Chains A and B, each alone.
Chain A
Amino acid sequence: MRYTLAFLSILLPFGCSKNSGTVALEKAEPTTETVTYASGEDKVSGFLCHPPGKGPFPGLMLIHDDFGLTDWVKEQAKRLAEQGYMVLAVDLYRGEAVSNLLDAHIMDRGLPEDRVQRDLKAAVDYLVSRKDVRASRLGVAGWDMGGGYALDAAIRDPRLLAVVTCYGRLTTDAKLLAPLKASVFCVFAGKDKGISPETIEQFRAAMTKAEKRIAGMRVYSECAHGFLDPATWPTNGAPPNEDVKDAWERIDDYLDKALQQ
């Protein structure tokens, strides 16, 4: 909770950032906008967070969970932009809002995988097309459904050098991991009913066999699936504060080493 409050206090001045065309007296905030770009023949939009300054910045694609591009995901985009990334949070649901678990399932299960792949490639294309993005420093992070897609995206797109997957679906076949160029940082929840320790071990073995790099892997035994997002706490129970803090510190540290240095 303390952590969330700290978060909010950082984000509070954010609302006026759009109007701050002049030099900010205090710490400069990222600017945000909704950007549109082509995904095949479709037009899709994403939430872009632009760090203060000219760049070029490393680029980071964020992929939401099965509840869609929520305010929480946007908060993470802003937080990461503050650390110097050009962040693009995609909207795989294309504007469709989700209000409950069944809805989330109906949307997630209905996504055509080929459309997802196209949208994610288009998002990377968009980042690369920007002059203020370092095309040689691109990463992807996702939670839940988005964690699985983050790994999938990096397998399909060699431009991605860093993957953060938080309790996302894994790949267990070494052959399928062969095209992966990125290193991977994983956060798992010990109480996750869907990702078992056996599956995690299969992933680890497949990564080793494919000679790929797991930059870090944490299983937070006291935490439930989705624990980084406070929206899951009422139903799943709140995780220990220190676990949330630890996970974010490690994520930030991994991304910093993989993309900023």
Chain B
Amino acid sequence: MRRFLGVCAVLALVAPAWAAEGKVKTANITIKSGDEEIKAFLAEPDGKGPFPAIIVIQEWWGLSDWIKDNAKRLAAQGYVTLAPDLYRGKVAEDMKTASELRKGMPHDRALRDLKGAVDALVAKDNVNKERLGSIGWCMGGGYSLQLALHDKRIKACTMCYGAVVTRADMLKPLNATILGIFAEEDKGIKPEMVAKFEEALKEAGKKVEAIKEFKAGHGFMRPGNPGGKNPVYREAETKQAWQDIDKFFAKNLRGK
């Protein structure tokens, strides 16, 4: 708790906009995923609700403190947020481990975990189950889209530099409005690929809030890497991206 307050104190200096908005309760909970039980990080606004809710999806590093901070950040704005632990207790401290963890994770298991997280949110008394969203970065950006494709309960999907889908027919099941945050210098998701995604969304007749490309590289929104700074962190672009994200969820999940 002291640590959490510490984080809040730091964040209050750099991001007073959300920190001032509301108190947040957090808990590590257990949720069902198929026949299994997995851990998840829950952050809730103060008050009875019902609140809109957002699934927060980890990067290749795992359910890190930064992902938890993002869950708290959104909770302070009036969303119940839940970040499932897709790596089942493992958090990487180095790239080699992160790489192995990401590549070894069964795709179907991750989707099951994410749907289990949606089930857990929907079952909560303080959640408005008609107003569900998802957000993720890096690996989680791709899974944010995949979750929205596999679960019609998701109405607003933010994907930050995650794998896209380039075929209109494969986007058919999508029931969510999309906000895409991409990075122009991302070698793995080049502007052409983002353009194809945008085209496919249009062709499929899907709702798109915006597909934004920032002058930055992959992973630009995370200030730190384990054990140091993230060299590709871009402060100004990150601030803008968060404004876009906050506005998007407010409009699509809170009707503001």
* Known contacts A101-B96, A114-B170; A109 and B106 CB within 8 A of each other: no
A110 interface residue (CB < 8 Å to B): yes
Kindly list chain B residues whose C-beta atoms are within 8 Å of the C-beta of A118: 167
Q: Which of A103, A110, A171 contacts B106 (CB 8 A)?
A: A171
A111 B188 Cβ-Cβ under 8 A: yes
Q: Is residue B105 contacting chain A, with contact meaning CB distance below 8 A?
A: yes
Besides the known contacts A109-B162, A144-B103, A225-B103, 9 further A-B residue pairs in the complex with CB atoms under 8 A apart: A105-B95, A105-B98, A109-B102, A111-B163, A113-B165, A171-B107, A171-B108, A172-B109, A194-B100
A126 to chain B, nearest CB (A): 20
Find B104's partner among A104, A108, A192 (CB 8 Å cutoff). Answer: A192
Interface presence of B28 (CB below 8 A): no
Residues 188-206 of A contacting B (Cβ, < 8 Å): 192-196, 199, 202-203
> Interface size class for chain B?
35 or more
Residue pair A192, B186 in contact (C-beta under 8 Å): no
Interface size class of A (residues with CB under 8 A): 35 or more
Q: Does A58 contact B (CB under 8 A)?
A: no
Q: Are A101 and B105 in contact, with the CB atoms below 8 A?
A: no
Across the interface, name the chain B residue whose C-beta is closest to A175.
Answer: B108
Check if A145 is an interface residue, CB within 8 A of chain B: yes
Task: Contact check, A106 vs B104: say whether CB atoms are below 8 A apart.
Answer: no
- Interface membership of chain B positions 150-188, coded 1 if the CB is closer than 8 angstroms to chain A and 0 otherwise: 000000000000111111001000000000000000111
Contact B187–A195 (Cβ < 8 Å): no
In the complex, are the beta carbons of B186 and A106 less than 8 A apart? yes
Considering only residues 117-140 of chain B, those with a C-beta below 8 Å from chain A are 138-139
Contacts of B220 in A (CB 8 A): none
Bits for B216-243, please: 1 = Cβ < 8 Å to A, else 0: 0010000000000000000000000000
Least CB distance, A13 to chain B, in whole angstroms = 36
Residues of A within 8 A of B197 (CB): 112
Report if A193-B97 is in contact (Cβ < 8 Å); known contacts: A108-B103, A109-B60, A112-B193: yes
Nearest CB in chain B to that of A148: its residue: B103
Which A residues are closer than 8 A to B by beta carbons? 66, 96, 101-115, 118, 144-145, 148, 167, 169-173, 176, 192-196, 199, 202-203, 225, 235-236
For B232, the closest partner residue in chain A by CB is: A102
Question: Is residue B208 within 8 Å, beta carbon to beta carbon, of the partner chain?
Answer: no
Number of A-B contacts (CB under 8 A): 103
Asked whether, in the complex, the Cβ of A110 is within 8 Å of the Cβ of B187, the reply is yes
Q: Assess whether B207 is interfacial by the CB under 8 Å rule.
A: no
Picked from A170, A192, A194, A202, the residue with its CB within 8 Å of the CB of B102 is A194
Rounded to whole Å, the gap between the CB of B3 and the closest CB of chain A is: 26
Which residue from B105, B138, B167 sits with its C-beta under 8 Å from A114? Answer: B167
Measured in the bound complex, the distance between the Cα atoms of B96 and A225 in whole Å is 10
Known: A96-B187, A102-B95. A112 touches B100 (CB 8 A): no
Q: Kindly identify which residue among B96, B97, B106, B164 contacts A170, using a CB–CB cutoff of 8 Å.
A: B106
In the bound complex, CA of A108 to CA of B138 (Å):
11
B189→A169 contact, CB < 8 A: no
Chain B: which residue is nearest A107 at the CB level? B188
Instruction: Specify which chain A residues have a CB less than 8 angstroms from the CB of B108 in the assembled complex.
Output: 171-173, 176
Assuming A96-B187, A171-B108, is B99 touching A110 (CB within 8 A)?
no
Contact yes or no, A109 B187, CB < 8 A: no
- Which residues of A have CB within 8 Å of B99? 66, 101, 104-105, 194
Q: Is the CB of B167 within 8 A of A173?
A: no
Complex contact A107–B104 (CB within 8 A)? no
A196, B104: Cβ atoms closer than 8 Å: yes
User: B142 in the interface, Cβ–Cβ < 8 Å?
Assistant: yes
Closest Cβ neighbor of B92 among chain A residues: A193
| Nearest chain B residue, comparing its CB with the CB of A98 | B187
CB distance from B241 to the nearest CB of A (A): 18
Inter-chain contact B106/A172, CB cutoff 8 Å: yes
| CB neighbours of A102 from chain B (8 A) | 95
Is B101 in contact with chain A by the CB < 8 A criterion? yes
